[in-house]
Structure 1
């Protein structure tokens, strides 16, 4: 047989008080239940009043409990939304980086397109084009400034031929190989280019300095004023460079001579245009052929 349950709390006063309080609460609840039952049976109006008062008391508690329950219930959703937002943020950042890369490529292609269009216009305007080739390298650490052109005698390139870019004059051919040529840049100290000022035709010469800049010197007028922004183009004097090719712009006010910055920097030029010498010298064989004709005519 199962041992009988021992409901005695023993000698613990705490257990005794707890058991007594339980009995009191149960009795109190039974009394309230009986009273409410009697009110609902014999006096429904009073029972409605009591029920309304109980509702007024319990409604705030129910609302508070419902808010707490809703808050705890929204925690899993908030956590999921947080991780979803983090993941979406990472995706957007990755897409932004890719978009920036695409924009940078587009800008690079745009600049390349503008240079090639300018070079194409220059080639179309000039009937003495020899070759269009790429500048594969240039000397930047030495005081002597040369560049290597990816075209040579096989493409018709010869010494002394002028070389231009989309923005202006680059230099002239110094030496040629079968498929390559060495270019003397106009920023080299040995380079001298006859030029004229665009606003008044003042004759001058542009001499390289070897440091990326050039010196613009007056060729005829003493103490000629140079103003910042004055633009100089080739004059055609000397018979090498065709006229009206942009060469340099003065960067500060001065008298008799001033510093200038070239339009076509070899560091930013990709393609170059090789042109015929403006006034080519007659070969001795041509002179010999002309002499018998003169004698025969006589």
Structure 2
């Protein structure tokens, strides 16, 4: 997407070439050494994916995630030489894809010997689709399945171990499914406004009706919503069509602040979500906390405990 790739256009071309060259230069050697020792080196662009990768990998290697600080806007991240070294040392590289982390997909391509997992491909992504896959309810299932396949290709004897790890991790997430089921009963067909489409995959799974999508899409692309979108946002609230507003805390701006304030002035509940999980927070805790806030805001009874 336009916003997600703006920073790349600003980087000096020679620096990008240097980073990619660094990966190509030592990638093959590092991968061979890793496979000889029987321990795999995995790198993930996002820490949510890194957590899942480590859960499946267990004691058969190590996982490093690049984006681990929630204070960093993922759209503005610029890779460094140390980032390139992580990619050159990897046997498996996990990228989001869909234009979200182009720096990751480019560095991954430079390490020709590493196996690549691009989450966008697991969802058969097409241009214009929502790329915030970590908010899709079946993300963990799709990614763990692919991780078992990829790890087992490198260490075939450990396939049962990887399968067991994946099943154990997925069992931990069942409380998310229970809470989503409860929320779906309350939100199905209800109108929801969003300041950015980061949470949309979850909302769609709950059969919520996302109103004025043009507003959030403009913010996601680094643009101001049109006057028509702003007016439509207010009109939906005035007419009582909105059950709840979803605000991405990491996407700020004057028009966003005004839109959220307008909702609050009209007693429409606002639920804050984030694009990345907090430091020291697990994927389960992060997702569950936000769903629980949503359940409280819309009056859904949480029976997942």
Scaled to the shorter chain, the TM-score interval is under 0.3
Q: Does 1 or 2 have the higher relative contact order (CA < 8 Å, sep 6+)?
A: 2
* Structure number with higher strand proportion: 1
Q: Please, what TM-score do these two structures have when normalized by structure 2? A: 0.24
State which structure, 1 or 2, has the greater radius of gyration over its C-alpha atoms: 1
